Amino acid sequence: MNGSHPTSCRSPSTQRGMALISGLLILVVLTILAMSMFRGYGTQQKIAGNVREKNRAVSAAVAAQQFAEYWLGTYPAPPAGDCTGMKVNPVAQVCLNSPDFTSVPWMLGTDPVGVTFTNFNSGPTPPPIAIDHPKQGTYFSTPMFYITDLGQSAAGPGEVYQIDAAGWGGTPDTVAVVESTFLLAPSGRNYDK
């Protein structure tokens, strides 16, 4: 009789194998968690960038819209006419016809229409930026606006105008269009957005 039990010799080796397998499983789970966390971080960065570009486009459109409202309230509005071409401010135009504002650039027939808002960047009109070379702090295109004469106000004296404005972020895919209705009354100016 040798005095040792065969089960006591196998027990420690079995436990060591289980520790190795458990350690490997924990390592795999931690690796998967780390990879998903890094993937989520990249997605969050893309979302933040898209939100920033959307906000820049909306700000550019609102700036053009506010300039058009200022122009209508400050200068005598020219008679409304047929607008078939692009203009550069401060020479704005008031139009009788309206393009389809759901797609940019706005077109009447085959001609682009609207007024380019060059005061936005306080300098000469910046050139468009190539899609594959965007730069931070630049815009794809200069904001623009379009003023449509809707006729006399039904509520009293005054002329009603519709102002549509478009602004871009850093790419042509980031575009915002805003619209307001402007009442120019003889007794003063009234804004209805």
In a domain, 148, yes or no: yes
In a domain, 9, yes or no: no
In a domain, 79, yes or no: yes
**Residues 15-43, mean pLDDT to the nearest whole number:** 82
**Among 115, 114, 171, 166, residue whose Cα is nearest residue 139:** 171
**Among 164, 161, 188, 186, residue whose Cα is nearest residue 78:** 161
In a domain, 41, yes or no: no
Cα dihedral 148, 151, 153, 158 in deg (nearest 10): 80
CB-CB contact of 116 with 89 (8 Å): yes
Q: Provide the β-strand partners of residue 161.
A: 149, 182
Residue corresponding to tokens 């005054």: 158
**Segment 66-82, tens digit of pLDDT:** 988 888 888 777 778 77
CA distance to 60, 61, 70, 80, 96, per residue, from 67 (Å): 11, 10, 5, 18, 20
In a domain, 135, yes or no: yes
In terms of pTM, does the model score above 0.75?
no
**Segment 163-177, tens digit of pLDDT:** 999 999 888 888 999
Tally the domains of the chain. 1
**Segment 36-66, tens digit of pLDDT:** 877 777 788 888 888 999 999 999 999 999 9
In a domain, 30, yes or no: no
Q: Give 39-95 as a 3 state SS string.
A: HHHHHHHHHHHHHHHHHHHHHHHHHHHHHHHHHHHHCCCCCCECCCCEEECCCCCEE
d(CA 87, CA 114): 6
Residue 109: give the domain boundaries: 58-192
Burial 102-115 (b: 16+ CB within 10 A, else e): eebebebeeeebbb
